[in-house]
């Protein structure tokens, strides 16, 4: 699964990496992003990528209230086209969530050790994601997203049995624009064409990340 990630960059770097115009509000570096929080997401708009702020935790357009988003922070790539919560979004509302690392908790004999996982270049990458617009009874638009997960690549098997689906950079445009049909078979063929990032650097971090109120550079500092 993916329950925490980091985006410890400024807006200039984020916008340049994903080829998007800058937006307001100006974001600050984030070291411990948690579900329900509002973060930038890359969406396609009139053929161009742009950043939009959304809540983490998908609220389908048909939901009676937005509390369902607390249960939909992740979607399994193996079944996403079959689930009523995601099958409409996978057809038309795919997006990329920028990050520069994520956390996973590795089980040991006595506890769970938080680990930070980054790509070897230490540069920004993108999670494959879905987004939705839900309208409240008073007409207010609520934008939200969920992060796709997959079985771990070989370099992460020892950490956890799931991982967020991190796109290779050369597949980001494919994720946003590559689907050429809406049938279950066409969507599955499209998903099977995705190639996730394979290589990662992993290191232990402090238990500070267990509490989402801790959101500072100490969260990403390696420990012995």
CA distance 103 to 193: 26
Q: Which pair of tokens denotes residue 24?
A: 């307001």
Considering the candidates 81, 95, 104, 172, report the single residue annotated as catalytic.
104
Burial track 67-101 (b if 16+ CB lie within 10 A, e otherwise)? ebbeebbbbbbeebbeeebbbebbbebbbbbbbbb
The rounded distance, in Å, linking the Cα atoms of 40 and 165 is: 17
Counting other chains too, the contacts that 149-157 makes at CB distance below 8 Å and 24 or more residues apart are 149/1, 149/2, 149/74, 149/75, 149/76, 149/77, 150/76, 150/77, 150/78, 150/196, 151/78, 153/196, 153/197, 153/198, 153/200, 154/198, 155/198, 155/199, 155/200, 155/202, 156/104, 156/117, 156/200, 156/202
CA distances from residue 191 to 5, 90, 124, 157, 167 in whole angstroms, order as listed: 23, 10, 22, 21, 12
H-helix or E-strand spanning residue 43: strand 38-45
2 is catalytic: yes
Catalytic residues: 2, 104
């Amino acid at each position: 699964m993916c329950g925490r990630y980091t985006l410890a960059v400024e807006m200039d770097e984020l916008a340049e990496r994903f080829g998007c115009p800058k937006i307001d509000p100006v974001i600050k570096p984030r070291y411990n992003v948690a579900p329900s929080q509002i973060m930038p997401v890359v969406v396609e708009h009139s053929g161009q990528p742009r950043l939009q702020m959304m809540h983490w935790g998908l609220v389908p357009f048909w939901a009676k209230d937005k509390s369902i988003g607390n249960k939909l922070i992740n979607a399994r790539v193996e079944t996403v086209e079959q689930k009523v919560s995601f099958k409409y979004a996978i057809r038309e509302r795919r997006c990329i969530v920028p990050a520069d690392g994520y956390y996973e908790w590795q089980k040991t004999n006595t506890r769970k050790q938080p680990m930070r996982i980054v790509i070897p270049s230490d540069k920004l990458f993108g999670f494959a994601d879905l987004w939705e617009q839900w309208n409240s009874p008073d007409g207010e638009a609520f934008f939200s997203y969920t992060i796709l997960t997959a079985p771990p690549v070989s370099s992460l098997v020892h950490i956890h049995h799931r991982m967020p689906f991190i796109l290779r950079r050369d597949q980001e445009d494919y994720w946003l624009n590559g689907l050429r049909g809406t049938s279950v078979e066409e969507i599955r063929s499209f998903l099977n064409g995705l190639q996730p990032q394979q290589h990662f650097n992993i290191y232990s971090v402090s238990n500070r990340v267990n509490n989402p109120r801790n959101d500072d550079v100490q969260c990403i500092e390696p420990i012995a």
